[in-house]
A and B are shown apart, each in its own frame.
Chain A
Amino acid sequence: MTHPRWPLAVVIPPRTIGLDEFARRARLHPQLVQRYVALGLLDAKRDAAGELRFAPAQLAVVARIQRLRATLPLNYAALGLVLDLLDRIRELEDASRRSAPPWT
C-alpha cells in the first residue's frame, strides 16, 4: 500500500468565527457584540456575504471589556481608551523585556 502524498506545506488561512458562534462563546447577545464592533471596541472583518468574522483572540478582548465594565464606572469611549492603553503598555513591556538588559 502506498502512502498518500501530502503537500509539503499548506497555507492555513487564519481561522475566524462568525457572529453567532462568537456571541455564544462570549456568552453575550449578538446585538451587544455588534454594538461593540460598531463602537470600535472589537475588531471584526466582513466576509463576502457581509457577515462579521472575528479572530478567536477577540474573545479575550470581550472578556476584558466585561471585567472592566463590571468593576469600573466606564462609558464606552473611556473603555476604548483603557483597552488601547492596556495594549500599548503590553507592547512596551514586551519590547523592554526583549531588548538588551542594562548589564550587557
Chain B
Amino acid sequence: MAGDYYEVLGVPRSASAEELQRAFRTLARRYHPDVNSDPSAEERFKEINEAYHVLSDPQTRARYDRYGPDFRQVPEGAPAGAGASPGGGRSTGRGRGSTVRTEGVDIDLEDLLRGFGGFRGFDDWGGATASMPGADQQAEIELTVEEAYRGGKHRIALAGPSGERSYQVTIPPGAINGQRIRLAGEGGRGSGEGAPGDLYLVVRVAPHPRFRLDGRDIYTDVKVAPWEAALGATVPVATPGGEAKVRVPEGSSSGRQLRLAGEGMPNPRGTPGDLYAVVRIVVPKRLSRRERELYDELSRVSTFDPRAES
C-alpha cells in the first residue's frame, strides 16, 4: 500500500518541481517492469507514477498538501476545511484523469508530448496501445541442499500488486542453482485485454555446512584417521539422500576425491550428478601413551618424506 506521495518519491514536502521530476525519473527507471523483474517492482512502479502524477501538477499537489490522501473526495475549489467524504480511500487508477486539470498548469510539456508524463499506471498505459501484455517477473526461491535433492512441494509468499500472494509449487527432484520454475500467467498484469506475464521462480541453493555443489555434482569431506588413510578403510559418508559407504583405498592422502557415481543431484531428464567424498585426514588431539609409543616407533622406522619432490 502506498504511503505518502512524498515518501514514495523520497523527497521532502518542500521539494521543487525539478527535484520531484529527478526523483521520479530515477525511480521510474529503477522500477520499470522491464528493468526490474522483482514481483514487488510492479506495484512500486505504479505508486511512483501515481505519486508523480499528483505532485507534478501544482494544483493537485496543493490539494494533496491540504487534504492528504482523500484529496480526490474534495471538490475542486472547495474552501479549506470542507469535509472529505470518508471511506473512499484512494482511487486506483480509473477516472483519475478527470480530477487533473490540464488548463494553464505548468507541467513538463516536453514530457507530456512524448508520452512520459502522461503515463498513468498499468491500468492505463497512456493511450498509445489499449492492450498490452504484462512483463515476466522473477523471484528467487531458496532451497537447502536436501530440499533441492529430494524435490517436493514448497510454499512461497511474494509481495504482489494486491497484497501478498502465496503459491504452492512442486520442485522437481534435483533442482540446481539457476533453474527456473515457470508459473504461467502469474507475472505482471497486462493492460486492457493484454495477457499477464509469467512468473519465474529461480532456484538458489543455500550454502550448506557439509555439501558443496558444482552443477549436479556434490562435494563433501570425509574425515579419516591417519591409519585408515594409510591402510584403507570403508567409511560412512553423509549424502543429501542419506548415508552411503565409501571405500577409502590404501595410501589416500588428504584431498583425494573418491567418486560415488550417480550419488549427486538427481536429474529428471538425464544422468544424475556424482558425489565426491574428499578425503580429510584428522589426527587425535591428544594421544594416549600407547598411541604415542606407536607413532614414535613409526617415525623412527618410516623413510617416508611427505615434502620430498615426487
Interface positions of A (Cβ within 8 A of B): 27, 59-60, 63-64, 66-73, 82, 86, 94, 97-98, 100-101, 103-104
Q: Please tell me if the beta carbons of B28 and A97 are within 8 angstroms of each other in the complex.
A: no
Contact with A along B150-183 (1 / 0, CB 8 A): 0000000000000000000000000011100000
Q: Please tell me if the beta carbons of B34 and A86 are within 8 angstroms of each other in the complex.
A: yes
Q: Which residue of A lies closest to B191 (CB)?
A: A70
Partner of A70, one of B129, B177, B197, B213: B129
Q: How far is the CA of A68 from the CA of B114 in the complex (A)?
A: 12
Q: Please tell me if the beta carbons of A104 and B116 are within 8 angstroms of each other in the complex.
A: no
A-B contact pairs, 29 of them (CB 8 A): A27-B129, A27-B131, A27-B193, A59-B133, A60-B133, A60-B136, A63-B133, A63-B135, A64-B34, A66-B133, A67-B132, A69-B128, A69-B129, A70-B119, A70-B125, A70-B126, A70-B129, A71-B32, A71-B126, A72-B116, A73-B114, A73-B116, A86-B35, A94-B178, A97-B177, A98-B177, A98-B178, A104-B213, A104-B214
Q: Please tell me if the beta carbons of A104 and B177 are within 8 angstroms of each other in the complex.
A: no
Question: Which applies to chain B's interface (DSSP): helix, strand, loop or mixed?
Answer: loop
Q: Which residue of B lies closest to A96 (CB)?
A: B178
Indicate whether A63 sits within 8 Å of B204 (C-beta atoms), given known contacts A70-B119, A98-B177: no
Question: Which applies to chain A's interface (DSSP): helix, strand, loop or mixed?
Answer: helix
Interface positions of B (Cβ within 8 A of A): 28, 32-35, 111, 114-116, 119, 125-126, 128-136, 176-178, 193-194, 197, 202, 204, 207, 212-215, 219
Q: Please tell me if the beta carbons of B177 and A101 are within 8 angstroms of each other in the complex.
A: yes
Q: Give the Cβ gap from B195 to chain A, nearest Cβ, in Å.
A: 8
Q: Please tell me if the beta carbons of A97 and B178 are within 8 angstroms of each other in the complex.
A: yes
Q: How far is the CA of A64 from the CA of B219 in the complex (A)?
A: 41
Q: How far is the CA of A68 from the CA of B116 in the complex (A)?
A: 10
Q: Please tell me if the beta carbons of B194 and A63 are within 8 angstroms of each other in the complex.
A: yes
Q: How far is the CA of A68 from the CA of B129 in the complex (A)?
A: 12
**Chain B residues with CB below 8 A from A27, complex form:** 129-131, 193-194
Q: Please tell me if the beta carbons of A104 and B212 are within 8 angstroms of each other in the complex.
A: yes
**Chain B residues with CB below 8 A from A70, complex form:** 115, 119, 125-126, 128-129, 132
Q: Please tell me if the beta carbons of B32 and A97 are within 8 angstroms of each other in the complex.
A: no
Pick the most buried of B115, B132, B134, B136: most chain A CB atoms within 10 A of its CB: B132
Q: How far is the CA of A8 from the CA of B193 in the complex (A)?
A: 41
Q: Which residue of A lies closest to B195 (CB)?
A: A63
Q: How far is the CA of A103 from the CA of B214 in the complex (A)?
A: 11
**Chain A residues with CB below 8 A from B131, complex form:** 27
**Chain B residues with CB below 8 A from A101, complex form:** 177, 207
Given contacts A71-B116, A86-B34, A86-B35, 8 further A-B contacts (CB under 8 A): A27-B129, A27-B130, A67-B135, A69-B128, A72-B116, A94-B178, A97-B202, A98-B176
Indicate whether A63 sits within 8 Å of B132 (C-beta atoms), given known contacts A73-B115, A86-B35: yes
**Chain A residues with CB below 8 A from B136, complex form:** 60
**Chain A residues with CB below 8 A from B28, complex form:** 71
Q: Please tell me if the beta carbons of A67 and B126 are within 8 angstroms of each other in the complex.
A: no
Q: Please tell me if the beta carbons of B34 and A68 are within 8 angstroms of each other in the complex.
A: yes
Q: How far is the CA of A98 from the CA of B213 in the complex (A)?
A: 11
Q: Please tell me if the beta carbons of B219 and A104 are within 8 angstroms of each other in the complex.
A: yes
Q: Please tell me if the beta carbons of B119 and A71 are within 8 angstroms of each other in the complex.
A: yes
Q: How far is the CA of A104 from the CA of B208 in the complex (A)?
A: 9
**Chain A residues with CB below 8 A from B114, complex form:** 73
Q: Please tell me if the beta carbons of A100 and B178 are within 8 angstroms of each other in the complex.
A: no
Q: Give the Cβ gap from B24 to chain A, nearest Cβ, in Å.
A: 12
Q: How far is the CA of A60 from the CA of B130 in the complex (A)?
A: 17
Q: Which residue of A lies closest to B208 (CB)?
A: A103
Q: Please tell me if the beta carbons of B177 and A103 are within 8 angstroms of each other in the complex.
A: no
